[in-house]
């Protein structure tokens, strides 16, 4: 079973590496950098890829066409082995950049080390954010991820100051270290995400909430390493493989939830000496299965508090409750309906008991104010019009 899980993980990584390699990418080494006013660019397959700006404007919009050639990508530039920043004028001054509609790719290094950059507006046509696209732009705080983006490359936003980001439904993969060392506070992955690279959110010291994609089947190594504010995490229902060091240095971690779908949990997933507040480990399956799929060192956690293992425990739902199994849910619904029926019957009986019996007037007589009257010749009593006998003296009506 463990071999199957490891093989599955390897195949998944290989697939995404091939997919990433298949992207159009930037210009080949030795390509000529062209100049158009303040803009530098390459020609790749008959389309322009903008690679630099030499002006001094604080807010810029990259042109959608250069000298009549459509711009479809923004890329980094280099001269031999020397990397050059996108903004090349003396002291960096540009704080905001808008990428035009029609651009499909931000290729690797395009806005790397742009120290003054604070804001980036990306187009709806964008499909891919490449490796180190904004890496080490230490003042970048605001960026949007358009709805058509399918891939976020390695180190794409590493060591920026992004605190929040909305990831679109349709996003398929986030490569290694993509958000490493950012002050991001919350992550909610859409269920379309099927790949997360190692250390994708490592060293995010302010991360307090992480919702993983139900599309994930493997969790790569050191995913949340050094996330010192993260208190709890639930692995998705389809996860089969959990690699080592996922929670290294997560000093605030208190509880972890594993699904019954898990087939392999690395013995180094939980390192006790680095998890002083860990108190509860939940597993949706049985204790015997947990022992089978995890290494023995998981049971040798040494920390200040005793760790409690909870087996056959339902997984938390997205809203913070628990996921009910279908049989349990049906039983609860039927029970609720029966209780409601019993309560309604009880209330009906109580009301029925309280009903007053109408007064009796005799077998054939009625009070005179009900349906008309006739006067008894014997006693003078006024009787109902349809009564045959006087209700007082009993004399027959004539």
pLDDT band at 327 (very low <50, low <70, confident <90, very high): very low
Residue 290 and residue 285: Cα distance in Å, rounded? 7
Provide the percentage of residues in the chain whose pLDDT is more than 90. Answer: 56
**Topology given in CATH for the domain delimited by 361-398:** SH3 type barrels. (2.30.30)
Determine the pLDDT at residue 267.
Answer: 72
The least confident of 101-105, 222-226, 306-310, 355-359 is: 355-359
With a cut of 90, say whether residue 170 has pLDDT above it: yes
What pLDDT, in 10s, does the model give residues 342-360?
777 777 666 655 555 454 4
Determine the Cα angle at 116 with ends 113 and 121, to 5°.
90
Half-sphere CA count of 291, side-chain side, radius 13 A: 5
CA 129 to chain centre: 20
- Confidence (pLDDT) at 83: 67
The token duo for 101 is 């509609």
**pLDDT reported for residue 84:** 79
DSSP string, 305-373: S--EEEESPPPB-TTSSBPPPHHHHHHHHHHHHHHHHHHHHHHHHHHHHTPPPPPP--SS---HHHH-E
Cα dist. 313→146, 260, 281, 329 in Å? Answer: 38, 9, 10, 15
Q: Does pLDDT of 80 surpass 60?
A: no
Tell me what pLDDT residue 338 has: 72
Residue in 241, 280, 281, 285 with CA at minimum distance from that of residue 259: 285
Q: How far is Cα 312 from Cα 287, in angstroms, rounded to an integer?
A: 8
Average pLDDT for 139-143: 97
Least confident window among 118-127, 174-183, 242-251, 267-276: 267-276
Q: Is the pLDDT of residue 279 over 50?
A: yes
pLDDT digits (tens, 9 = 90+) for 98-127: 999 999 999 999 999 999 999 999 999 999
More confident residue, 196 or 56: 196
End-to-end CA distance of the chain: 105
Domain boundaries, the chain: 361-398
**Window from 22-36, 191-205, 285-299 with minimum mean pLDDT:** 22-36
């Amino acid at each position: 079973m463990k071999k199957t899980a490891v093989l599955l993980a390897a195949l998944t990584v290989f697939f995404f590496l091939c997919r990433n390699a298949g992207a159009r990418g930037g210009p080949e080494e030795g390509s000529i950098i062209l100049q158009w006013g303040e803009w530098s660019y390459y020609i790749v397959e008959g389309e322009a890829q903008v690679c630099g700006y030499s002006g001094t404007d604080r807010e810029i919009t990259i042109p959608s066409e250069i000298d009549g050639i459509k711009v479809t990508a923004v890329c980094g530039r280099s001269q031999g082995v020397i990397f050059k920043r996108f903004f090349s004028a003396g002291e960096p001054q540009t704080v905001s950049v808008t990428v035009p509609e029609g651009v499909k790719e931000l290729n690797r290094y395009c806005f790397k080390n742009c120290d003054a950059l604070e804001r980036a507006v990306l187009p709806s046509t964008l499909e891919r954010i490449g490796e180190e696209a904004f890496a080490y732009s230490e003042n970048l705080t605001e960026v949007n991820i358009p709805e058509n983006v399918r891939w976020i490359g390695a180190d794409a936003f590493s060591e920026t100051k992004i605190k929040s980001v909305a990831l679109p439904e349709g996003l398929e993969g986030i490569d290694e270290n993509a958000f490493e060392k950012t002050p991001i506070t919350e992550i909610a992955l859409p269920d379309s995400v099927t790949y997360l690279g190692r250390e994708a959110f490592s060293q995010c010291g302010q991360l307090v909430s992480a919702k993983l994609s139900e599309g994930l089947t493997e969790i790569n190594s050191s995913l949340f390493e050094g996330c010192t504010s993260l208190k709890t995490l639930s692995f998705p229902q389809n996860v089969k493989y959990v690699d080592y060091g996922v929670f290294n240095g997560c000093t605030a971690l208190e509880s972890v939830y594993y699904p019954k779908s898990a087939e392999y949990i690395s013995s180094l997933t939980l390192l006790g000496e680095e998890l002083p507040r860990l108190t509860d480990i939940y597993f949706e399956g049985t204790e015997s299965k947990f022992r089978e799929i995890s290494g023995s060192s998981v049971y040798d956690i040494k920390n200040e508090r005793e760790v409690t293992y909870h087996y056959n425990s339902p997984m938390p739902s997205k809203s913070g409750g628990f996921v009910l199994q279908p049989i349990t849910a049906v039983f609860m619904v039927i029970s609720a309906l029966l209780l409601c029926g019993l309560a309604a019957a009880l209330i009906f009986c109580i009301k029925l008991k309280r009903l007053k019996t109408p007064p009796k007037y005799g077998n054939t007589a009625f009070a005179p104010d009900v349906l008309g009257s006739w006067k008894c010749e014997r006693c003078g009593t006024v009787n109902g019009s349809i009564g045959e006998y006087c209700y007082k003296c009993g004399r027959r009506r004539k």
